[in-house]
Structure 1
Amino acid sequence: MKNGILNELISTMRERIPQDMNLANTLADILCMGKEAVYRRLRGEVSFTIDEVALLSQKLGISIDQIVGSHISNKVTFDLNLLHAPSALESYYEIIKRYLNIFDFVKNDSTTEVYTASNLLPFTLYSSYEYLSKFRLCRWIYQNGEIKTPHSLAEMHVDERIVNAHKKLSENMKQCGKTFFIWDTNIFYSLVKEIKYFASLRLITQDDVVHLKEELLQLLAVIEHLSIKGEFSENKKVSFYLSNISFEATYSYIEKKNYQVSLLRVYSINSMDSQSPHICQMQRNWIQSLKRHSILISESGEAQRIAFLQKQQEIIDTL
């Protein structure tokens, strides 16, 4: 079992570095040790220390839980991504950074495919919009109850690093080779309902509601354009499906050559994830089954697309 874990760790580390880079040189740089000391560890003559494994996990994006868990029968591991930041804003930034790290890792690989089955609008589609992203952050702050939510989104100050992370998240998502969205037919309803609720509590102003409505209509127009064109840009395909089956959560699956991860949405904007091949295959199969019970409205299904867009506009118009 010990040798099996070491071999899998070495194999995973090789997958995480560019093909033209030497593994021993990379580990020597990360661990700040001589190459001979690295080779002794790679040959199994000396064990990696816990601190060394933790550092490699951090620098190379390796899930040690997954490697250890795969050698235990009938066990799979999920990363709950527990937040350790001292404030709601820091926790929020941690979450956004984690999503950014995933997309940074997969975005430039031509084999990358991203699947999301959701009854809520994916944040990656509207993270670059000022008022919609502010509203999402406002809701997170309010739910955590750590600091008073501003009564006006217009006056709400957002750290520049968060604004930049929002924009980069949107850009990175659009650079993936293939993206598939499977949506509930009332995808805008939940967000519109939340906006109304926050307005009724006077946590946002009526002027904020007007701006949010404008951005939702802009987003709907972008979705219409993307669904007709079928791509974000050249060779960056995007497909929209409308599900005939209800699903109770948001399921995401991301894969590229030698890498796959499944994500389940929890605690409003966070998610737990697993790189277990078994879990990833189950997640992929589940999303594929939803596709079979859905209608493709990108580059086809014109009548269904028009009806869907009209229905979403009617929902937005209730603001």
Structure 2
Amino acid sequence: MKESLNQKVVSAIYESLPEKERIIPFLCDLLDLSRESAYRRVRNSIPFTFEEVAAISIKLGISADDIIGQHNNKRAFFDLYLNGTSDPIESYGKLLQNMADISQKLRKANESEMIASSSRIPFAFSMQYENIRKFRYFKWIHQTHEVPINFYLSDLTFPSQLETLYKNYMYNYMRVNNIKFILDKNTFLPTTEEVLYYHKRKLINDNEFLAIQKELLLVVDGIEQLLQTGVNEAGSNIYIYLSALPIESNCAYLEYDGTTCARYWSYTFNPIVVFNKEACTLQKKWLESLLKYSTLITKSNEYLQAEFLNAQRKFITDMTESEV
């Protein structure tokens, strides 16, 4: 049993590692092992732990279920990245790196598919805007780290290493073709309420508030451009559907060269992830069923386009009136 598990893990690593990367340095770096400990695992002297198999599967985008033989359709393994450090830059950087890695796999795949449902602004639509990026990071720190109650946005410097990761993610995402987004009719409302909350607490000053508001309007302009053309700036096809029902689950189904992945966002933008094919198939079926209650508004249905865009712009402009 021990030898069989190790053989499966090692074989999966060899199949998935980039051509120039060697397995021992990979294991040492990912699992924080000495070279001897890594060699002992590769030689089947000691078994990989469950946590190690999970870390390897997430890093390489391979299924832990396939490795350990969970083919009875009764159990699937889910992964949630937990902040293992008090350093917000490192934690946030790992989340961004994971997003960049997934988008790179989609970009490089011969065949890929992505369907996502969202009750709020999709991360990919707003990532190019400096003030929105900074606000997302600011809010995430407030929600996940111990900070003073009066921790101001103006006190926060957005690190250059995070900017680099954003650019890497943006480059890959913009070149992923044929993405379907299912949006809630009130997509912009949660973000506007969050910005208002921090502004009312004086944690965001007036200039910062107005800068974020201006960028949110630019995001709507960008969505309008996508709706009219059906392609983004890199020429990739993007399909936007408007749901007739409130969207309660922010999730995505991804498939690239035979690998399936489902991602669920519960309380922040680090997702719960599963690679189990049966679980992913169920998620895909749910998203496809949601499409039945949705209307394609990319390059079609100008009435719904205008209604949706006008509603989002009103959420944003009403922010100022709410402050009076």
Instruction: Give the equivalent residue in structure 2 for 1:114.
Output: 114
In structure 2, C-alpha distance between the alignment counterparts of 1:3 and 1:49, rounded to whole Å: 9
Query: How do 1:227-306 and structure 2 match up within 5 A?
Result: 227-233=227-233, 236-306=236-306
1:27-176 equivalences under 5 Å are 27=23, 47=44, 49-50=46-47, 54=52, 57=56, 60-64=60-64, 67-68=67-68, 70-71=70-71, 74-148=74-148, 150-153=151-154, 156-176=156-176
Aligned residue for 1:241, secondary structure, equals strand
- Contact persistence 2:251–2:264 (CA under 8 A): yes
Shift of 1:122: 1.3
Compare 247-256 and 274-283 and name the one that shifted more.
Answer: 247-256
Indicate conservation of the 8 Å contact 2:175/2:235, yes or no. Answer: no
1:48 CA displacement: 6.7
- Residue identity opposite 1:50 in structure 2: P
Percent identity reads: 25
Q: Give the match for residue 207 of structure 2.
A: 207
Contact 2:7–2:44 (CA under 8 A) maintained in structure 1: no
User: Does the CA contact (< 8 Å) of 1:109 and 1:177 recur in 2?
Assistant: no
Shift of 1:2: 7.2
Give per-residue Cα distances to partners, 1:3-55, cap 9 Å, x unaligned. Answer: 8757865774465257xx69xx965785799xxx99xx7xxxx6374359949
Structure 2 Cα separation of the partners of residues 89 and 13 of structure 1: 28
Deviates more, 1:262-271 or 1:51-60: 51-60
Displacement, 1:60? 3.6
Aligned-pair distance for 1:311? 1.1
**Deviation at 1:88?**
3.2
In the alignment, which residue of structure 2 is the partner of 1:182? 182
Look up the SS of the partner of 1:187 in the other structure.
coil
Asked whether the 8 Å contact 2:262–2:283 carries over to 1, the reply is yes
The answer to whether the Cα contact below 8 Å between 1:262 and 1:273 also exists between their aligned partners in 2 is yes
User: For residues 157 and 29 of structure 1, what CA distance do their matches in structure 2 show?
Assistant: 34
- Corresponding residue SS for 1:135: helix
Q: Given that residues 116 and 250 in structure 1 are in contact (C-alpha distance below 8 angstroms), is that contact kept between their aligned partners in structure 2?
A: yes
User: Which TM-score applies when normalising by structure 1?
Assistant: 0.84
Stretch of structure 1 that moved more, 195-204 or 119-128: 119-128
Single out whichever of 142-151 and 120-129 deviates more from structure 2.
Answer: 142-151
Q: Distance in 2 between matches of 1:242 and 1:12?
A: 40
How does 1:4-23 map onto structure 2 within 5 Å? 9=9, 12-13=12-13, 16-17=16-17
User: Please, what is the CA RMSD of the aligned residues?
Assistant: 3.1
One-letter identity of the residue aligned with 1:151: Y
| C-alpha distance in 2 between matches for 1:160 and 1:130 | 12
State the alpha-carbon separation in 2 of the partners of residues 48 and 27 from structure 1.
Answer: 16
- Distance in 1 between the 2:107 and 2:196 partners? 36
Partner of 1:220: 220
Rounded to whole Å, the distance in 2 between the matches of 1:312 and 1:276 is 36
**Contact 1:183-1:241 at 8 Å conserved across structures:** yes
Query: 2:64·2:275 contact (CA, 8 Å) conserved in 1?
Result: no
- 2:111 partner letter: T
Give the corresponding residue for 1:195: 195
Q: Given that residues 80 and 272 in structure 1 are in contact (C-alpha distance below 8 angstroms), is that contact kept between their aligned partners in structure 2?
A: yes
Is the partner of 1:79 in helix, strand or coil?
A: strand
CA contact (8 A) 1:188 1:312 kept: yes
Instruction: Give the SS at the match of 1:198.
Output: helix
Task: Name the aligned partner's letter for residue 56 of structure 2.
Answer: S
Is the Cα contact below 8 Å between 2:117 and 2:182 reproduced in 1?
yes
Change (3 A) 1:211 1:235: closer
Structure 1: tracts of 5 or more residues without a match: none
Q: CA deviation at 1:61?
A: 4.2
2:32 equivalent in structure 1: none
The 1:298/1:11 distance shift into structure 2, 3 A limit, reads farther
Query: CA 1:236/1:202 → structure 2, altered by over 3 Å: closer, same or farther?
Result: same
Gaps of 5+ in 2: 29-34, 320-324
Residues 66 and 274 of structure 1 are in contact (CA less than 8 Å); yes or no, is this contact kept in structure 2? no
Aligned length: 305
CA displacement, residues 83-139 of structure 1 (integer Å, 9 cap, x when unaligned): 212233332222222111211222222412221101011112212211101111111
SS of the residue corresponding to residue 108 of structure 2 reads coil
